[in-house]
Structure 1
Amino acid sequence: MTPNIMALPPMAFCDWARPFVEGSLFAVRERMVILLAQGAGRGKLEMEFSEFFEEYCGLAFLFEPSEKSLLVTLDECAAFSHLKCRVKDVETHRKTSPAGRIARRTGGGILGAPSPEIKVSALSDADFRALIETLVNWPLFAARKRVVKLLDTVSELGENTGLPASPQFPSTFVEARGQSAFLEFFVCYLELEQFLEDYDYDADEHLALRPEVAERLERSAAAVEAGTAELTPLAEVAKELGIELQLRKPKNKRLFRSART
């Protein structure tokens, strides 16, 4: 269960928030910055972009259980009106449902959901480089630095005083605006997620199948077409998996009979 971050004691908030800002995504971003400064070719940038996208999905999965709670926190506090405006803008321009976003993180999709308009592999070298430059300069990373600095300050104060629950300690933390900084980091993540909705990226697109695997798939497809494949009935598969099949019956039997004739 996601806690109310505004009600957490300072040290408890630090422990809860650190996993969000200490993931590998931020190390990948630093490597991308270095490659851009070195004028690296597309091949090296694509390798890091693949890592970036994977780690971004990891951050998304980390935020997933907390997203509703964080949005409620933003909505209930008047001090975050500027962040609420940014969230509203994200929600206005989103093209996918929550289920669609989850499916995309796992490499899938939902039938009928809109497809991304921009295929990353089809971008020109200049456009791909521009995309990388946009990503490494996303406000998420500056917001993350502020959160890390505040968390480190709180941890240091707690260790030095040995009294993280003292009256002075929470007020110090409130003045540091730790929760506010984290919520801004969260909103920056939502904006990045909305931006990436327009990009179609498949990390496995250019990977080649091993020859023996490709040959086995070709044999299987040929056997199905020839009618010689040993297929398992759907009912048996469902029974093995412990799934109860619920086959839909036609609502209009007259139409069904006429269709058969």
Structure 2
Amino acid sequence: MELQGLLFDKDGTLFDFGATWNAWAGALIRDLSEGDPELAERIAEAVHFDLFAGAFRPTSPIIAGTNREAAICFARALPHIPVDDLETLLATRAARAPLQPPVPLVPLLDTLAGRGLRLGVMTNDAESVARQHLEKAGVLDRFTFVAGFDSGHGAKPSPAPLLAFAEAEGIEPARVAMIGDSTHDLIAGRAAGMVTVAVLSGPARTAELAPHADVVLPHIGHLPDWLPEAVTSLRG
């Protein structure tokens, strides 16, 4: 029995979370507060962002949440702006985020595909934003499946969007590895009956992820070396 598919989370997995989203969030908070330091602090508290450190706190619901959930968080400090408008703004700004993968993606994905693995992405971001990010990174065509929270399959931690990947590719869920940086990813993977791979390129640390993961890797660049171990484990 061997793995036949790899399903990746996007933010914190394909792209390093802190390097990509901390600067993005800091700039967004500055723009939304329009020079008002008290408002900036209220926005930061609403989204669990540490203005002094310039980083999301691990408790932020935005880390693994959907774009809608992020908009609702921002709206708590900005009640004069409709949630729908904030959701549109976040999607527009997110599409321009300064993407920073933990390793060069093209050679890594080509190596994985060259081993006969089907590759997919399931993110709690919007599908349109995910596709823009993957296109910007030059890897959209490496994935045969791209889904967001708004693609009609639901959002993590539900296993439904993960099972949609397995069904679309004609793969048994047990032969798919769900790779992610949050408990949302791993809980969904376990519920779907998939192998669960945690990576540490997001805010969560080993102690939080390990109980839900079959393996914890520093980042996705370690996947090629881990795959032979995975095959041995599955056969066992």
TM-score (norm 1): 0.25
Larger radius of gyration: 1
TM-score (norm 2): 0.27
In proportion to residue count, which structure has more strand? 2
